[in-house]
Amino acid sequence: MVDSDFGALDVDLRLGVAAKGLREGTLETTEGELEFDGLIIATGAAPVRLRGEGPQHVLRTIDDALALRELMTDGARVVIAGAGWIGAEVATAARKAGAHVVVVEAARTPLAGALGCEVGAFTTSWYADAGIDLRLGTMVGSVDPGGLTMMDGSWIPADVVVTGIGVRPSVAWLAGSGIELDNGIVVDEHLRTSMPGVVAVGDCASWWSRRFGRRLRVEHWDTALHAPETAVATMLGGTAVYDPVPYFWSEQFDHMLQYAGNHDGARLVMRGDPAAGAKWAACWLTGDDRLTAILTVDLPRDLVQGRRLIEGGQRLDVDRVRDPATPLRDCT
């Protein structure tokens, strides 16, 4: 939307104005105080950056993406810190552009933080197949002009350094406000905060999931797309509940990865053989054999059926789940 679109909606859009404090009924900004009856906080999250004086790029906005695209040229030396979702996707794009790519990752496998080392290990070979130098168990000391100095003292030269080691919720401005914070802004299943008249939504909100019985803070676009409906309904006095099956997808190394659910504390059941190079899925089950999360690799049908099983909460036949020839919907 452009400024005129907001005006047509009778919205007072104030660009370049930052929130800097909050007390009940009043928002403190860099251009003075704003009194409110209702406030929606959607301040998002900010990428974590590495130490050092050298230039480093992050991927968070469209401007970040456009700037990186200009630098991903044939023969460029690109070093990526982090083999998570962002790192894998940037590495894929850089190789397709003809760049020489090195990826450094502190964990033992790619995607360790997101999926655990056992599942993340199945993606390790994708890097070598793409001609990427993947260095695991390696920590960055600092980003310096011309490259990276590693914790062991070694040096990796680079024309471009991309940092993809996660984000932190943008909530520092709420310190001292009295609003409850814990890995973001603590909200209930209606996205209400501990302060009357205030709701929070998106990457900055840690919301209570009835479905999974724990707090979740999900940093993917699906949350940003759907959660605002609940936030607005709550602000207007409704009783809407936000309790989705979290979902996201990633395209990397000519594979489509899709994930739904939450696998914290669940046991892993593999579906198919990643070592065979075929399509496969990782399923996570509760103690009573209910699907709580699924990751699919080039298996969109399994993702759709798995997401429905998570929503339905049916108990599954584990042996049938392991058999990739059996549709997931027939594993109940």
Residue 219 included in any domain: yes
Structural domain of residue 191, as residue ranges?
Answer: 171-246
Q: Which residues contact 72 (CB under 8 A, 6 or more apart)?
A: 78, 93, 94, 97, 99, 160
Q: If DSSP codes are grouped into helix, strand and coil, which group holds residue 189?
A: coil
- Are residues 298 and 217 part of one domain? no
What would the pLDDT profile of 248-275 be if each residue is shown by its tens digit?
999 999 999 999 999 999 999 999 999 8
- Are residues 54 and 163 part of one domain? yes
Q: Which of 167, 185, 219 is the last residue of a domain?
A: 167
CATH number at residue 185: 3.50.50.60
What would the pLDDT profile of 292-329 be if each residue is shown by its tens digit?
999 999 999 999 999 999 999 999 999 999 999 999 99
Q: Which of 167, 185, 204 is the last residue of a domain?
A: 167
- Are residues 240 and 225 part of one domain? yes
Query: With bands split at pLDDT 50, 70 and 90, how would you rate the model's confidence at 166?
Result: very high
Query: With bands split at pLDDT 50, 70 and 90, how would you rate the model's confidence at 6?
Result: confident
Q: Is the pLDDT of residue 2 over 70?
A: no
| Range scoring the smallest mean pLDDT among 1-10, 147-156, 188-197 | 1-10
- Are residues 160 and 79 part of one domain? yes
Residue 40 included in any domain: no
DSSP 122-178: GGHHHHHHTT-EEEES--EEEEETTEEEETTS-EEE-SEEEE-S-EEES-GGGTTS-
Residue 270 included in any domain: yes
Q: Is the pLDDT of residue 1 over 60?
A: no
What would the pLDDT profile of 85-121 be if each residue is shown by its tens digit?
999 999 999 999 999 999 999 999 999 999 999 999 9
Task: Count the domains in the chain.
Answer: 4
- Are residues 116 and 7 part of one domain? no
CATH number at residue 298: 3.30.390.30
Neighbour tally for 243: CB within 10 Å? 15
- Are residues 85 and 160 part of one domain? yes
DSSP 259-305: EEE--TTPEEEEES-GGGTS-EEEEEE-TTSBEEEEEEES-HHHHHH
- Are residues 155 and 89 part of one domain? yes
Instruction: Give the pLDDT score at 89.
Output: 97
Residue 39 included in any domain: no
Residue 42 included in any domain: no
Q: Is the pLDDT of residue 145 over 90?
A: yes
- Are residues 60 and 16 part of one domain? no
Span 130-157, mean pLDDT? 97
Residue 126 included in any domain: yes
Element housing 209 (H / E): strand 205-209
CA nearest neighbour of 301 among 271, 321, 327, 274? 327
- Are residues 161 and 95 part of one domain? yes
**Mean pLDDT of all residues in the chain?**
96
Residue 205 included in any domain: yes
What is the residue whose two structure tokens read 């939450």? Answer: 262
Instruction: Give the pLDDT score at 277.
Output: 74
- Are residues 159 and 65 part of one domain? yes
Span 152-166, mean pLDDT? 97
Query: With bands split at pLDDT 50, 70 and 90, how would you rate the model's confidence at 127?
Result: very high
Span 280-291, mean pLDDT? 97
- Are residues 217 and 187 part of one domain? yes
What would the pLDDT profile of 187-242 be if each residue is shown by its tens digit?
999 999 999 999 999 999 999 999 999 999 999 889 989 999 999 999 999 999 99
DSSP 1-30: --HHHHHHTT----TT--EEEEETTEEEET
Neighbour tally for 69: CB within 10 Å? 11
- Are residues 99 and 196 part of one domain? no
User: What's the pTM value of the predicted model, to 2 decimals?
Assistant: 0.93
Q: Which of 167, 182, 206 is the last residue of a domain?
A: 167
Residue 81 included in any domain: yes
